[in-house]
Amino acid sequence: MLKRLLPLCAAALLASVGPVWAAGELTYVVNNESAAYDPGTTAETFATPIIGNAFEGLVKYASDGAVVPALAESWTISDDGLTYTFKLRADAKWSDGKPVTAGDFVYAWKRVLTPASGAKNSQMLYGIVGAEEFYADQSKDNVAVSATDDHTLSFTLKQRVPYMLQLLGYSTFYPVREDIVAADPDGWTRKPDTYIGTGPFRVTAMNFGESIVLEKNPEYYNAANVSLDKLTFRLIPDPATALAAYEAGDVDGVEAVPAPEIPRLASEENNGFLVVPALGTTYAFFNPHQKPLDDVRVRKALSMAIDREEIVEFVLQSADIPAMALVPPGMNVAGEDFRDGSDTFGLAPTAEVDAAKALLAEAGYPDGAGFPETVYVTYSSPPIEKLLEAIQQMWKKNLNIDVKIQASEWQVFYPEVQKVEYQIAQMGWGADYPHPMTFLDNFVTGSANNLANWSNADYDKLIADAKATNDEKQSLSDMRAAEALIMNDAVILPQYHRNQYMMMKPYVKGFWRSPLNVPYFDAVTIEK
């Protein structure tokens, strides 16, 4: 197995040696294109490179993971931990030069709490007094968020949220402009002239299917320290083609490399290969409302019958981690990693074949006999399709069942999965903020990201209790108990916890990519 590389050191990335020349232009390859670049409403990881460089919120993450000021220059928190007051910086402006106001945040947050907006992460704001009630009934506008003046934003929580500042660094909390959105609610994010942001770069061209081009935003409060003049996100769906472009010198960076190339790239010197720790888990949803997945024994058998170690070592050929649960390692609460000492829920790195066969037989399918036609849907991606083919073969070998794989483009696949009419659907989740709740909150009843439409009252209560308590150890216990309910009911098929494997030319200095999967270019300079 490929030796797991040390986590990428932000300090090493940010180090600059030798003369620094004008940064000029940089081209970075992405493998997928999003259909939704609205910071307030999207939950798509594929949108983060654009949103993360064209927008900022009150706060942002530094390369060491710390929360630091962004559009807000300072803030205070009341003694009871409930009321937050932010002072916006005087030079906070939109990319068209208009001032950013506290009222922009009030509008943006209430928009997220409006069902008609289609926001996927509305529940992230439910900790604010009156927010959940407003979402349920738009006539009850008692949301405790207000603009005292153009530069002062205040909001009050129902109970303490220890990770509130971390939440505020996520795009759901970014401001959007009411005049822009109201003029074209469905199309404003699809045109450079109306994609008005607050970040270090502004979008100047949207060539869908090819590239999205950004340029330095002269209205950005820290524009004096942004060196890149032009940043092009080039779409190349096939990682092998992207790597070839990189090695030919046609592009400066690629967000992902083909799994079979990882051992070679890791062994070469000074080629720009980077391993970036990621707070992410790749898994599939089992639909508990569709036969034969409506039987928990079938779901458990399918999960137990795959060899996760083989997937990582021979299929992915990576330093990823076999996953036996939802929440990845690296999430710390009360001084403990969430994963330390937790259960594996009957799963193991290798296949538990005998136990899986026994469960399938109990469910009425001895040695796979009579197993109904089952379709495993996925988005088109060569590495993911290769992964699913391996799982398909494991199910055939270990359980003697045939499962069909059906792939479609993301823009077709995702809306269909949201209807929850599939049997098995390939998905996964990357953390929106560095806390276990970013994974667990998705499975509460009614969450827009609960793509199995699974509901469990005990689970909902545990999540509510975990949020309400001021005792971090009790919160950790509640969250672990909640995850156990998901895993013991086999709602998902966990596959692996992810790292990001990418390339960036050694002459690019100051680039960093967060564990939340956002590539940052505001500090980039180029030496060559």
435-463 pLDDT per residue, tens? 999 999 999 999 989 999 999 999 999 99
> What is the identity of the amino acid at 115?
P
**From CA 38, how far away is CA 184, in angstroms rounded?**
12
pLDDT at 35 exceeding the cut of 90: no
pLDDT at 30 exceeding the cut of 70: yes
**From CA 132, how far away is CA 251, in angstroms rounded?**
46
pLDDT at 8 exceeding the cut of 60: no
Q: Where are the alpha helices (DSSP H) in 469-498?
A: 472-488
* 23 band by pLDDT with thresholds 50, 70 and 90: low
Average the pLDDT over 233-249 and give the result: 97
Tell me if 428 sits within 8 A of 401, measured CB to CB: no
Question: What share of the chain in percent tops pLDDT 90?
Answer: 83
Token look-up 């058998």 returns 301
pLDDT at 15 exceeding the cut of 90: no
pLDDT given for residue 77 in this prediction: 96
Mean pLDDT value across the chain: 92
Sign of CA dihedral 96, 100, 105, 106: negative
What does the DSSP 8-state code read for residue 128?
Answer: B
Of 94-108, 254-268, 423-437, which has the strongest mean pLDDT? 94-108
Task: Evaluate the omega torsion of the peptide bond into residue 292 and state whether it is cis, within 30 degrees of 0.
Answer: yes
Name the phi and psi angles at 105, rounded to 5.
-70, -40
Q: What b/e readout covers 215-252, taking b as 16+ CB neighbours within 10 angstroms?
A: bbbebbbeeeebbbeebbbbbbbebeebbebbeeeebb
Average the pLDDT over 349-367 and give the result: 97
Tell me if 452 sits within 8 A of 258, measured CB to CB: no
pLDDT given for residue 9 in this prediction: 37
Q: Mind listing the pLDDT tens digit for each residue in 373-398?
A: 999 999 998 889 999 999 999 999 99
Could you write out the DSSP letters of every residue in 129-151?
A: TTHHHHHH-TT----SEEEEETT
Q: Mind listing the pLDDT tens digit for each residue in 188-203?
A: 999 999 999 999 999 9
**From CA 194, how far away is CA 300, in angstroms rounded?**
48
User: What's the pTM value of the predicted model, to 2 decimals?
Assistant: 0.77
Between the alpha carbon of residue 293 and those of residues 34, 225, 323, 356, the distances in Å are 30, 54, 21, 14
Question: What share of the chain in percent tops pLDDT 70?
Answer: 96
Sign of CA dihedral 128, 132, 138, 142: negative
pLDDT given for residue 92 in this prediction: 98
Residue 276 CB coordination number (10 Å): 21
**From CA 246, how far away is CA 256, in angstroms rounded?**
11
pLDDT given for residue 22 in this prediction: 46
Average the pLDDT over 461-466 and give the result: 94
Count Cα atoms within 13 angstroms, Cβ side, for 221: 19
**From CA 517, how far away is CA 57, in angstroms rounded?**
17
* 259 band by pLDDT with thresholds 50, 70 and 90: confident
Name the phi and psi angles at 163, rounded to 5.
-105, 25
pLDDT at 470 exceeding the cut of 90: no
The pair of structure tokens assigned to 524 is 């980039």
